[in-house]
Structure 1
Amino acid sequence: MAHLHLCWELGAGLGHAGRLKMLAQALLEHGHRVSLSVRDLRHTHALLAELEVPILQAPVWLHDTVGLPPPASLAEILFRCGYLEAPALRGMVDGWRAMLALLEPDLVVADYAPTALLAARSMGLRTAAIGTGFSMPPVGRPLPALREAPAERLASSEARMLATANAVLAELGAQPYAHAADVFLGDANLLCTWPELDHYQRDGADWLGPSCVAEGGLAPYWPDGEGRKVFAYLKASHAAHAAVLRALVDEGCRVLAYVPEVAAGGVPPVISERVLYAEAPVSLPQALAQADLCACHAGEGTLAQSLLAGVPLLMLPSHTEQFLGARRVAMSGAGYNAALLAPDGDWRAVLRPLLNEAGYRDAARGFAARHAGFSPQQLNALLVERITLLLDGRHDARR
């Protein structure tokens, strides 16, 4: 059977590693050999511990790039990762090339890993890109704007990023990219989201559905008494996390909160008999099956599982990818995007419609009905099928 190398280069959080873990398990069950390289070995150690495969440190950019404005496109994100100048990028590419030469994979599967894709292209290796809509821009189109910016700036940044990538490919005797979007795409593109959650407006894409870990975690437990049940997955790094928990208490809710910093021994932000703090990650399917509302930072896995359970969302995005996802959910009517609400804002006024008006619940339940029957196992089967076709040379999924 084939050897597949699964890699993650950019982006924070455990979603990337979780997606690759599930794919690795499915590939192993089909008899393939698998190796991984991940951006963050420390925070993924427990998640990936049961995988009996080589897990390596991915080559990542370690240097600060000062003086750049907040990124307005994927091209400008890459400027912070070595794509400003070809000599800097060449060092990163050589690191990936050396690792791939040692591993000798038959296929490279890249989760938000453009430099791994570039290195594989320079070596003539087959590739697949996997991820949410954010890291996989529409094929053959200008890179989408992530925030308001002059058109001239967006075009200039895109051209510079593409020129840097192509300069390295030219040095290595490889074919150049035709479009900037190609830097993020592979020979096959495994788009793990649904149209309603896709960060970009695109037509006719092959949406396979979101990858979310549906197993593991603590069984949910709720404060005693009366009141709506709210599951809150919030981080202390968000300035409004305490204000949201306090507003939920003031609205008479019973809250099960997973705050990683509290689980690690930190001081709870709100002390109340109406709030219980989980000591470890909670089983989302079980918790959301009982919840009336989910408060979270709009990570795609949490969004997908909440909507599959028909539960509306209060979303507090912390970065651009989460903001775009929250905006899509808010457009569907299934949640409220609180990105622009100040920490000392009127959170109770935001919560009351989410808790009491039927529109949010109906929109979330409509989403659940449209995707009834979907499961992570179904997605993994699709992914293995597409990868098998690519390995057999019968798959053309650059779309």
Structure 2
Amino acid sequence: MAHVHLCWELGGGLGHAGRLKMLAQALLARGHRVTMSLRDLMHTDALLAGLDVARLQAPVWLHQAAGLPPPGNLAEVLFHCGYLEPVALRGLVAGWRAMFALLRPDLVVADFAPTALLAARSMGLRSASVGNGYNMPPSAQPLPAWRDAERLPASQARMLATANAVLAEHGAAPYAHASDVFLGDLPLLCTWAELDPWQRAGAEWLGPSFVPDGGIVPHWPDGDGPKVFAYLKATHAAYGTALQALVDEGCRVLAYVPEVAAGAAPPVLSERVLYAERPLSLQLALAQAEICVTHAGEATLAQALLAGVPLLMLPSHTEQFLTACRVAASGAGYNAALLSPSSDWRAAARRVLDDPGFRQAARAYAARYRDFSQHRLNQRLAALLEARLA
């Protein structure tokens, strides 16, 4: 059978590693050999425990690019990761090439790992990409922009020229389009059409890939009031304000805050808030929750929609903001991105709690995708990768 190497280079959180874990399990079950290279080995250790694959540190960019404006498209995201000049990118590509020379994979699969794809192309290795839409732009089109700026076409051209200069050094065919840098030979779009931030036409949306089980059994604060599940991080400036607003609205809040679980002081002390010491079973928590409060990471968001639970969303970065915009447009959630810590968070919470339209839209998602199966999705992904190997 084949040797498939799964890569994660850019982006934070555990969503990338979770998607690769599910794919690895499907490939292993079909008799393939699997290895992984990950951006973060420490935070993914518990998630990947029990997965019998070799895990290596991915070559990643460790330097600051001073003087750059906030990114306005994916090309400018890569400027912060070595793609400003060929001389900077060359070392990262050499690291990936050395890894592939030692591992000798038959197929490289990238989850937001453009430099792994570039290295694979430079060596004539077959490649594929998986992702939730944000990091997989529409093929053969200008890179989508989330910030208006006249410089963006020039940025796209510069990023593409940098990548092609390195490919030329290895005698490899150049990329034709900037989007090619992110896609590999076979792009596999792991989201639903409604959540795709780029709203591309004619794509095959396979559905969101996430780890569906695990976590501790939820227990809610005693008393009356709506049950609210909150998965928030202390890095968001208003997360404490949002929790206080829910308490003030009479909710019973079950919250998982990683920083609090690790020993940080809780932002709100109330008998109406219970902080989980470990990640919770989302399936069990969402089966009881009336609303879900989240940063709009797709794993939590998709499971809430599958459960028919409306969302109050506090996006922390561009990818989450774009996803929150799509959910808000569908009516299944409220995008609180424009609210500051001094805003009226009680009104936002009350709106999601009281307006039946939010729950109706969320339940419409659940009805539309009631036959969605994470197992079938991952079997489908494995089959598509096998076809690429053939």
Q: Same fold (TM over 0.5)?
A: yes
Q: Deviations 1:305-356 (Å, cap 9, x if unpaired)?
A: 0011000100000000000000110000000111110111100111112001
Aligned to 1:257: 255
1:373 lines up with 2:371 in the alignment: yes
Equivalent position of 2:349 in the other structure: 351
Shift of 1:212: 1.4
Deviation at 1:146, TM superposition (A): 2.1
Residue matched to 2:57: 57
Structure 2 counterpart of 1:68: 68
> Distance between the aligned counterparts of 2:372 and 2:49, measured in 1?
27
What residue identity is the alignment partner of 1:141?
Q
The amino acid that maps onto 1:247 is A
Aligned partner of 1:12: which letter? Answer: G
Equivalent residue, structure 2, for 1:293: 291
Q: Percent identity?
A: 71
CA deviations 1:267-287 (Å, max 9, x no partner) are 111111111000000111111
Q: 2:175 aligns with which of 159, 164, 177?
A: 177
Alpha-carbon separation, structure 2, partners of 1:252 and 1:149: 44
Matched, 1:30 2:27: no
Structure 2 residue corresponding to 1:364, chosen from 352, 357, 362 = 362
**Which residue number corresponds to residue 217 of structure 2?**
219
Deviation at 1:224, TM superposition (A): 1.1
Residue pairs, 1:300-319, within 5 angstroms: 300-319=298-317
CA distance in 2, matches of 1:373, 1:163: 44
Tell whether 2:120 aligns with 1:117.
no
| Alignment partner, residue 106 of structure 1 | 106
Aligned with 1:295: secondary structure?
strand
Residue in structure 2 matched with residue 329 of structure 1 by the alignment = 327
Runs of 5+ consecutive residues of structure 1 not aligned to the other structure:
393-399
Gaps of 5+ in 2: none
- In structure 2, how many angstroms separate the alpha carbons of the residues matched to 1:60 and 1:246? 38
Question: What secondary structure is seen at the aligned counterpart in 2 of 1:115?
Answer: helix
Q: 1:378 offset after TM fit, Å?
A: 1.4
Q: Is 1:2 matched with 2:6?
A: no
Q: Measure, in 2, the Cα distance between the counterparts of 1:148 and 1:142.
A: 14
User: What's the TM-score once normalised by structure 1's chain length?
Assistant: 0.97
**TM-fit CA distance, 1:49:** 2.0
Distance in 1 between the 2:271 and 2:118 partners? Answer: 54
Partner secondary structure for residue 81 of structure 1: coil
Aligned pair count reads: 390
State how 1:5-20 maps to structure 2 within 5 Å.
5-20=5-20
Give the Å deviation of 1:30: 0.5
What is the alpha-carbon distance in structure 2 between the residues aligned to residue 43 and residue 297 of structure 1? 19
Q: Over aligned residue pairs, what C-alpha RMSD do you find?
A: 0.7
Tell me, what secondary structure is at the counterpart of 1:48?
coil
Structure 1 residue 148: Cα displacement = 2.4
d(CA) in 1 for partners of 2:49 and 2:289?
30
| Cα drift, residue 50 of structure 1 | 1.1
Whole-angstrom distance in 1 between the partners of 2:72 and 2:329: 21
**Structure 1 residue 40: Cα displacement:** 0.5
Partner of 1:157: 155
Matched, 1:282 2:286: no
What is the SS of the residue equivalent to 1:101? helix
CA distance in 2, matches of 1:286, 1:128: 34
Give 1:388 shift. Answer: 1.0
Moved over 2 A (4+): none
Residue identity opposite 2:49 in structure 1: A
Deviation at 1:246, TM superposition (A): 0.5
TM-score, with length taken from structure 2: 0.99
Distance 2:198 2:158 in 1: 22
- SS of 1:180's equivalent in the other structure is coil
CA deviation after TM superposition for structure 1 residue 263, in Å? 0.5
Q: Which whole-Å CA distance do the structure 2 matches of 1:14 and 1:110 have between them?
A: 15
- Give the drift of 1:211: 0.7
